[in-house]
């Protein structure tokens, strides 16, 4: 090919020379960044990028990948909670197009309830920086299904692994409508029952997920979407050391109807949503001649309206909560708990407005105000949450800077005993005993390109004050040995979260991915006279380094790697226990005064595309091979107190195997 260089102008003078080009080649760098940060600090993760990442037992979980981002602390195996910038899991809202799910954990924390192929995009906002953000004092993780129509053929994908199989199919139901169906089912005990046993515990386990989304576009100005989700987990755990047989099942289901209308001739979009979402669990334990069950759950009926204009967003939220408070029902020797609080009903209403004021080129000021009214047991709790964001964007150099100040109330609490990643934690409402929790925070964040856009650097620093924080300081033994009441085991206090996050992403070339570092403190003070002072929160990791890379060779091989190095989380070590009057009494040391050992893990994976005939039904298929924890490190999950020859000692519990290989088959059609 011959390349000719010539200066060209919009008009040709009569004496101007004519150039004939043999050929013309136009090239540009493709931005393959898997993470994109929009103005205001929202992170958007490319769902297709997940396909090339390590598949633990045949699955790449989007929530687990989210925990590789800066400020999102992971607590290790057997823990599926999401801790954002020092906040607890219950401070966040994880939703399907704005419809909350109250538990998104499968398989002891390894998998979430989301089937990646069913969703078009995933976005993360680490702080409620606008008035339209829900009543949560933490972050928001939102999944959006694909709502485009017009396809005239059926397509989809599926994968078959050693623990589960999943698939998604897109079916056109007309020129203006489409149906998306997704299903995942597990058969984990067929091959992996040995690694579901840990120390003296043996487990049977299964789970499933299903999604149905129907989208209808009658015209260019209207979109109607019906979205449904069902999922459930079933666990049976037998503990030899406690002679305990435990049965546990939990699940979510959600139904929603969305209508989006764009006004003709106006820059105004109206969206309305009605929904129902339900989370419940059934916990049963049989120990010697004692039996106990603890049903709990939460059901929401909600309506959302939001109007989005050029510089203005306004709307309202209305939610009715029905909560089954966790109370034990006991039969046997220690049948001392005879009361049941039944369902607690509450309502919350919110009106909000966000106004963006352009000041100069690139400089905007956004003002927000959210007014709330929470109603329970005939009492009302009004509140007002303002927000302010000052942002500047340099279009020439491509960098931006944002300063956000916000206050936010939350009327629900999540607390309870957490052990081995099982969702024993429960939800309860604010009331006369426990005032609504709220947060006041400030965040400074920025983003800039590096090396001509080949890389991007994002950084943020934050500081937040938390008020009316609840902690549960009871144990499972308390359920059996005392006249139990939830409120007798709750203490309240304040919190302080502060830290800094760094993220460097690779945007171009065959290698894509990111490296992130987080420094964060999550400190708590309590009102109890026995707990004076400042304590680290149970989920605090002061340091965490995450590396995620994927390499496109240009051929059929696509290797990838994940590396995590993090500090250990705190825990409260028991000092001793004794039996008095047929009751077990446990004495603990200082609250969260000990820490688990540092957490280090590396996973590697490779996808290999198999050959297929051109024009065949299959458009892509292949094998995915992965190794989990290739460094063979025994990372701590927790510590247990054990007795050997009448002596008390601490025993650290680790993952059941050093390294875990996996192979799966994937196919697109």
Q: Using one digit for the tens of pLDDT, what is the confidence trace for 122-148?
A: 889 999 999 999 999 999 999 988 777
- Report yes or no: 416 and 427 within 8 Å, Cβ to Cβ: no
User: So what's the pLDDT on residue 14?
Assistant: 42
CB 626 within 8 A of CB 659: no
Confidence grade of residue 585 (pLDDT, cut at 50, 70, 90): low
Using the 8-state DSSP alphabet, how is residue 222 labeled?
A: E
Collapsing DSSP to helix, strand or coil, 26 comes out as: coil
Tell me the fold of 35-668. Answer: Maltoporin; Chain A (2.40.170)
Q: Which of 607, 610, 572 shows the shortest CA–CA distance to 589? A: 572
Cβ count within 10 A of residue 514: 22
Please give the pLDDT value at position 518.
Answer: 95
- pLDDT confidence of 40, banded at 50, 70, 90? low
pLDDT at 519: 96
What average pLDDT does the segment 42-68 reach?
77
Q: What percent of the chain has pLDDT over 90?
A: 40
- Residues 390-399 have a mean pLDDT of 90
Rounded to two decimals, the pTM is 0.86
| Res 469: pLDDT | 92
Of 118-132, 503-517, 576-590, give the lowest mean pLDDT range.
576-590
Lowest-pLDDT range, 73-82, 282-291, 329-338, 374-383?
329-338
pLDDT band for position 163 (cuts 50, 70, 90): confident
Most confidently modeled range among 59-68, 406-415, 623-632? 406-415
Cα–Cα distance, 481 to 285 (Å, whole number): 14
Higher pLDDT, 22 or 635: 635
pLDDT of 178? 92
Q: How far apart are CA 161 and CA 656, in angstroms?
A: 20
Q: Is the pLDDT of residue 229 over 90?
A: yes
- Return the HEC string of 225-279: EEEEEEEEEEEEEEECCCCEEEEEEEEEEEEEEEEEEECCCCCCEEEEEEEEEEE
pLDDT digits (tens, 9 = 90+) for 16-26: 444 455 555 55
**pLDDT digit string (tens) for 293-324?**
778 899 999 999 999 998 999 999 999 999 98
- Higher per-residue confidence, 649 vs 568: 568
Under a CB-based contact definition with an 8 Å cutoff, are residues 448 and 456 in contact?
yes
Residue 216 corresponds to which tokens in the numbers above?
């209808």
Beta strands 647-654 and 312-324, pairing class = unpaired
Dihedral sign computed on CA atoms, order 169, 253, 418, 570: positive
Instruction: Write down the residue that tokens 């409620």 correspond to.
Output: 128
Give the per-residue pLDDT at 346: 96
Can you tell me the distance from the alpha carbon of 425 to that of 298, in angstroms, rounded to the nearest whole number? 12
Mean pLDDT, the chain, whole residue set? 83
| pLDDT of the residue at 12 | 42
pLDDT greater than 60 at residue 513? yes
Pairing state of beta strands 93-96 and 140-145? parallel
Minimum mean pLDDT range among 273-277, 367-371, 472-476: 472-476
Q: Give the SS3 label for residue 118.
A: helix
Span 366-393, average pLDDT? 96
Give the domain ranges of the chain. Answer: 35-668
Question: For the residues 599-616, what does the mean pLDDT come to?
Answer: 87
C-alpha pair distances (Å), 643 with each of 198, 441, 577:
18, 46, 11
Contact 618, 636 (CB under 8 A): no
What's the rounded mean pLDDT across residues 361-373? 95
Least confident of 4-18, 47-61, 78-92, 167-181: 4-18
The whole-number average pLDDT for the span 59-74 is: 84
CA–CA separation, 431 and 28 (whole Å):
59
Residue 338 in this model has a pLDDT that exceeds 70: no
The pLDDT of residue 91 is above 50: yes
CA–CA gap between residue 253 and residue 171 (Å, rounded): 23
**What are the tens digits of pLDDT across the range 167-178?**
999 999 988 999
Give me the pLDDT at residue 54, please.
64
pLDDT at 466: 96
What pLDDT is stored for residue 322 in this prediction? 95
Most confident of 59-68, 97-106, 270-279, 532-541: 270-279
């Amino acid at each position: 090919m011959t390349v000719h260089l010539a200066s060209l102008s919009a008009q040709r003078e009569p004496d101007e020379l004519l150039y004939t080009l043999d050929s013309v080649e136009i090239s540009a760098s493709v931005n393959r960044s898997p993470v994109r940060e929009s103005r205001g600090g929202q992170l958007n993760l490319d769902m297709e990028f997940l396909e090339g990442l390590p598949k633990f037992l045949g699955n790449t979980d989007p929530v687990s990948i989210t925990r590789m981002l800066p400020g999102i602390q992971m607590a290790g195996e057997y823990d599926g909670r999401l801790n954002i910038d020092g906040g607890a899991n219950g401070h966040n809202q994880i939703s399907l197009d704005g419809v909350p799910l109250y538990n998104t954990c499968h398989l002891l924390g390894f998998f979430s309830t989301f089937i990646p192929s069913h969703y078009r995009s995933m976005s993360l906002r680490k702080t409620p920086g606008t008035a339209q953000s829900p009543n949560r004092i933490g972050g928001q993780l939102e999944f959006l299904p694909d709502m485009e129509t017009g396809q005239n053929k059926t397509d989809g994908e599926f994968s078959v692994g050693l623990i589960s199989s999943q698939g998604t199919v897109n079916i056109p139901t007309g020129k203006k409508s489409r149906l998306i169906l997704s299903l995942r089912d597990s058969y984990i005990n067929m091959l992996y029952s040995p690694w579901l046993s840990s120390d003296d515990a043996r487990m049977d386990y299964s789970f499933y997920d299903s999604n149905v989304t129907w989208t209808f576009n009658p015209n260019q100005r209207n979109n109607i979407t019906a979205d449904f989700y069902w999922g459930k987990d079933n666990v049976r755990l037998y503990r030899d050391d406690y002679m305990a047989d435990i049965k546990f099942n939990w699940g979510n289901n959600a139904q929603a109807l969305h209508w989006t209308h764009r006004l003709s001739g106006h820059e105004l979009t109206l969206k309305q949503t009605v929904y129902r979402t339900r989370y419940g669990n059934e916990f049963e334990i049989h120990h010697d001649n004692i039996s106990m069950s603890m049903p709990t759950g939460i059901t929401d009926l909600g309506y959302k309206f939001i109007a989005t204009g050029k510089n203005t967003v306004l709307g309202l939220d209305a939610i009715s909560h029905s909560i089954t408070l966790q109370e034990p029902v006991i039969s046997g020797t220690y049948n001392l708990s005879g009361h049941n609080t039944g369902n607690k009903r509450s309502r919350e209403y919110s009106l909000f407005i966000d106004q963006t004021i352009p000041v100069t080129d690139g400089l905007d000021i956004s003002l927000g105000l959210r007014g709330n009214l929470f109603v329970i047991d005939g009492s009302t709790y009004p509140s007002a949450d303002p927000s302010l964001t000052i942002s500047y964007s340099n279009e020439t150099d491509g960098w931006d800077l944002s300063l956000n100040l916000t206050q936010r109330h939350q009327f629900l609490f999540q607390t309870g005993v957490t052990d081995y990643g099982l969702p024993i934690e429960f939800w309860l409402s604010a009331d006369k005993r426990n005032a609504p929790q709220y947060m006041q925070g400030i965040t400074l964040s920025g983003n800039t390109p590096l090396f001509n856009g080949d890389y991007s650097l994002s950084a943020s620093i934050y500081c937040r004050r938390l008020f009316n924080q609840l902690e549960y300081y009871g144990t499972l033994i308390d359920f059996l040995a005392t006249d139990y009441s939830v409120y007798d085991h709750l203490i309240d206090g304040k919190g302080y979260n502060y830290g800094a996050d760094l993220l460097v992403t690779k945007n171009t070339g065959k290698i894509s991915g990111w490296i992130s570092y987080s420094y964060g403190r999550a400190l708590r003070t309590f009102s109890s006279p026995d707990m004076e002072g400042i304590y680290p929160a149970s989920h605090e990791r002061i340091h965490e380094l995450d590396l995620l890379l994927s390499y496109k060779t240009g051929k059929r091989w696509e290797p990838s790697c994940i590396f995590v190095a993090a500090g250990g989380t705190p825990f409260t070590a028991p000092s001793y226990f004794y039996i008095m009057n047929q009751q077990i009494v446990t004495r603990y040391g200082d609250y969260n005064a000990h820490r688990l050992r540092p957490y280090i893990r590396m996973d590697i994976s490779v996808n290999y595309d198999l050959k297929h005939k051109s024009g065949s039904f299959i458009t892509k298929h292949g094998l995915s091979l992965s190794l989990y924890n290739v460094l063979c490190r025994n990372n701590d999950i927790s510590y247990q107190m054990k007795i050997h020859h009448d002596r008390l000692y601490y025993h650290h519990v680790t993952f059941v195997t050093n390294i875990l290989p996996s192979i799966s088959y994937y196919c697109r059609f």
